Amino acid sequence: MIIRKKEHWFRMLFVWHGSVLPALLPRLGLLLAFSLLVTYFHGNIFSFKVPLNPAPLTLFGFVLALFLGFRNNASYDRFWEGRKLWGNLLNTSRTLTRQAMTLGNKNDDVSLHNFVQLISAFAFALKHQLRGTDGYEDLKSRLNDEHLKIVVASKYKPAVIIRLLAEWVQKLKNEAVLDSVQQARFDENFDKLSDILGGCERIISTPIPYSYRVLLHRTVYIYCFLLPFGLVDSLGWFMPLIVVFIAYTFVAFEAIADEIEEPFGTDANDLALNTMCHMIDETIHEITGKSIAVPQKTYQNIID
């Protein structure tokens, strides 16, 4: 995810990294070449004059813009829901660490460290599950041998880690370190972790209906390739530039919607899950009084 400081309006006109323009250049180049051909032949195809004028295209473009707005709103809702879920994960991780530090104040350092490492491992396991990547190295550096063996052998690793967290609390309850009320407080936050996991899985497993995406995609490109015939008589050789600019607006909106529809990926505008995981790791260890050094490179996915 690219996060920039507020820039001068003129510099923003030339921003390249983080925009969708690089991916759109081949398509816009094709449309430019097509528009130049339409201009050269004055809107004729094999001696047949295509009878289009700006009026119906203007009306159709207005309707298309409404549908694109709806598409972008639906995608952004998914993006923002994902961000809220990971924000809740940060808060819940801090709360669980504080509870382990204060409610179970008879814990030894090793036991507490294992609990905190499980919380950290949950965040990394969730990230890798959402991205479909291998999280073995991240888990290996955070789990002891017993926990690592259990988690690695499982398919839904974050859910198994929640179980291990609950077993840690149950063990303290059996040892009379925690009472039933304190155990219930922990369980409330474990339920929050389950809700976060389920919410993220819902987003990643339920994309926007494919037929709707195909319909909108086809409509955008049909409109863009009909536009030159409607503007060639009124704009002449200036038409290709106007058509490419209009097409850039429509196609870019569609591309942005496609990119943020799945917010847990690795595109420039997706959520910075690497940074969030390391932030959770850093903050919960700081709560225990054992700060860890986080390399600056872990923040590379949010800094241009």
DSSP 130-157: HHT---HHHHHTTS-HHHHHHHHT-SSH
Average pLDDT over residues 80-103: 94
Q: Reply yes or no on whether the pLDDT at 59 is more than 90.
A: no
8 Å CB contact between 22 and 267: no
For the chain, what percent of residues have pLDDT higher than 90?
60
| 127 domain residue, yes or no | yes
Provide the sign of the torsion angle of the four alpha carbons 151, 157, 159, 162, taken in this order.
Answer: positive
| 303 domain residue, yes or no | no
**In DSSP terms, which residues pair with 45 in a beta bridge?**
48
Q: What is the pLDDT of residues 203-232, one digit of tens each?
A: 999 988 888 889 999 999 999 999 999 888
| 3 domain residue, yes or no | no
Indicate the DSSP class of residue 296: G
> Whose CA is closest to 243, among 20, 39, 13?
39
Total domain count, the chain: 1
Average pLDDT over residues 29-37: 94
**In DSSP terms, which residues pair with 44 in a beta bridge?**
49
| 27 domain residue, yes or no | yes
State the DSSP H helix or E strand holding residue 66, giving kind and residue range, or none if neither.
helix 54-102
Q: What is the pLDDT of residues 108-141, one digit of tens each?
A: 677 888 999 999 999 999 999 999 999 999 999 9
Count of beta carbons in the 10 Å neighbourhood of residue 180:
8
> Domain residues for 205?
20-296
| 15 domain residue, yes or no | no
Which residue is it, tokens 């609990």?
115
| 12 domain residue, yes or no | no
| 260 domain residue, yes or no | yes
**In DSSP terms, which residues pair with 49 in a beta bridge?**
44
Give the model's pLDDT for residue 2. 54
Give the model's pLDDT for residue 155. 94
Residue 36 is encoded by which pair of tokens? 């130049």
CA distances from 242 to 231, 245, 283 (A): 9, 5, 51
| 290 domain residue, yes or no | yes
